[in-house]
Amino acid sequence: MFDNLSQRLSGVIKTLRGQARLTEANIQDAMREVRMALLEADVALPVVKDFIAKVRERSLGQEVMSSLTPGQAVVQVVYQELTLLMGDHNATLNLAARPPAVILLAGLQGAGKTTTAGKLAKFLREQMKKKVLLTSCDVYRPAAIEQLRTLAQQLETDFFPSEVGQQPEKIALDALDFARKHFHDVVIVDTAGRLGIDEAMMDEIKRLHAALDPIETLFVVDAMQGQDAVNTAKAFSDALPLTGVILTKLDGDSRGGAALSVRQVTGKPIKFVGVGEKVAGLEPFYPDRMASRVLG
Ligand code: GDP
């Protein structure tokens, strides 16, 4: 990811770094290049516009910073603004609820919800020493329930069974009850996704949300979907009080636009990224590290 974007930006950066004096025209040229590079990487247009405006404004006053050449100072501004764009700092999971803390996963079919449920269970158990219960409310696809059951088995994590045709809220509430009785710290609830956004899916997840009152409602989205990922994130974020986003398939050849846009478009932090199909392929999201990667 970011290969093309990094390549494009490194050209701009090289030119900027070499400048002992920067004129408004130099900055203008550089910003034009940055703008093109971001658009080509599938960053949402309003995000690009806003970003360029901020960098330009801050760059014009850079001569006053004595420790860096003006060119270096502009590069520093770009780095800082990229970091801010993605949320500034790592947003951790919030589990401050009376146990069990509920994590509800939402997203389209194929986004990586079920895989992510398993990854999160592993993360919570190994990194945070939590006792986790997994359950699936995907009552339309037996394969989805089976997939989670298999993952749970592989991870030696408890699984609350469900069946096609059951009512999602009932499954979730029964799972919660079970978790209370068996002293689980966290319940991860996987949900049904559809191929596109539709009203029935939104209604169902809203009802689940109302019934469960989760401490975390995480939207799982496939980074490979570029602009569509951001549009879908916006639609879910408008319908549900999301607490964060998990961007999957960052190991693929996505151009990176979703990583750079999703925070600003939804106002919700990216909490984790998926970096592989295996259960170990989950990493907390660090905006500053991602910005460094973008800048190569
Ligand atoms: P769901 O329909 O949202 O539950 O999606 P799944 O969890 O079934 O994932 C759909 C496909 O994406 C599967 O083939 C997963 O192995 C794959 N997948 C999920 N997360 C990642 C990831 O971070 N990287 C890669 N390369 N593949 C992923």
66-114 pLDDT tens trace: 567 777 888 889 999 999 999 989 999 999 999 999 999 999 999 999 9
How far apart, in whole angstroms, are the C-alpha atoms of residue 64 and residue 42?
34
CB 169 within 8 A of CB 207: yes
What is the CA(110)–ligand 1 centre distance, in A?
Answer: 6
How far apart, in whole angstroms, are the C-alpha atoms of residue 12 and residue 37?
10
Note the pLDDT of residue 47.
95
- Residue 64 reports pLDDT greater than 60: no
- Average pLDDT value for the chain: 91
Q: Whose CA is nearest to atom 14 of ligand 1?
A: 277
The better pLDDT of the pair 256, 167 is held by: 167
Using the atom order of ligand 1, give the atom closest to the CA of residue 115.
7
Using the atom order of ligand 1, give the atom closest to the CA of residue 108.
3
Copy the structure tokens of residue 96: 């401050």
What is the CA(74)–ligand 1 centre distance, in A?
Answer: 38
Bridge partners of 282?
274
How far apart, in whole angstroms, are the C-alpha atoms of residue 272 and residue 119?
10
Q: What is the mean pLDDT of residues 136-163?
A: 95
What is the CA(124)–ligand 1 centre distance, in A?
Answer: 19
Which of the four pLDDT bands, split at 50, 70 and 90, describes residue 62? low
The CA-based angle 57-268-112, given to 5 degrees, is 125
CB 103 within 8 A of CB 189: yes
Whether the complex's predicted ipTM is more than 0.85 is answered with yes
Q: Which amino acid is at 172?
A: A
What is the CA(112)–ligand 1 centre distance, in A?
Answer: 4
Ligand 1 residue neighbourhood (C-beta within 6 Å): 107, 109-115, 193, 248-249, 251-252, 274-277, 281
Copy the structure tokens of residue 218: 């995480």
Q: Is 189 left (phi over 0), alpha (psi -120 to 50) or beta?
A: beta
**Is 8 annotated to bind ligand?**
no
Note the pLDDT of residue 67.
64
Q: What is the mean pLDDT of residues 49-54?
A: 95
Note the pLDDT of residue 107.
95
Note the pLDDT of residue 65.
56
- Tell which residue, 85, 51, 33, has the closest CA to residue 258: 85
CB 263 within 8 A of CB 291: no
Lowest pLDDT segment from 22-36, 42-56, 133-147, 156-170: 22-36
**Strand duo 186-190 + 216-222: pairing:** unpaired
The better pLDDT of the pair 104, 3 is held by: 104
Using the atom order of ligand 1, give the atom closest to the CA of residue 273.
23
What is the CA(248)–ligand 1 centre distance, in A?
Answer: 7
What is the CA(105)–ligand 1 centre distance, in A?
Answer: 13
Q: What is the mean pLDDT of residues 140-156?
A: 95
Q: Whose CA is nearest to atom 15 of ligand 1?
A: 277
Q: What is the mean pLDDT of residues 142-155?
A: 96
Best residue among 149, 277, 283, 285 to mutate for probing ligand 1's pocket (most ligand atoms within 8 Å of CB) is 277
**Is 42 annotated to bind ligand?**
no
How far apart, in whole angstroms, are the C-alpha atoms of residue 119 and residue 248?
11
- Residue 63 reports pLDDT greater than 70: no
Best residue among 109, 123, 248, 278 to mutate for probing ligand 1's pocket (most ligand atoms within 8 Å of CB) is 248
How far apart, in whole angstroms, are the C-alpha atoms of residue 296 and residue 293?
5
Model confidence pLDDT, tens digit, residues 113-124: 999 999 999 999
Q: How is 220-251 classified by DSSP, letter by letter?
A: EEEGGGTHHHHHHHHHHHHHS---EEEEE-TT
Q: What is the mean pLDDT of residues 250-272?
A: 90
Note the pLDDT of residue 66.
56
What is the CA(45)–ligand 1 centre distance, in A?
Answer: 28
Predicted TM-score (pTM) above 0.80: yes
- Residue 48 reports pLDDT greater than 90: yes
Instruction: Say which residue the tokens 């951001």 belong to.
Output: 230
- Residue 201 reports pLDDT greater than 90: no
- Residue 238 reports pLDDT greater than 70: yes
Instruction: Name residues whose C-beta falls within 8 Å of residue 168's C-beta, 6 or more positions apart in sequence.
Output: 137, 139, 191, 192, 204, 207, 208
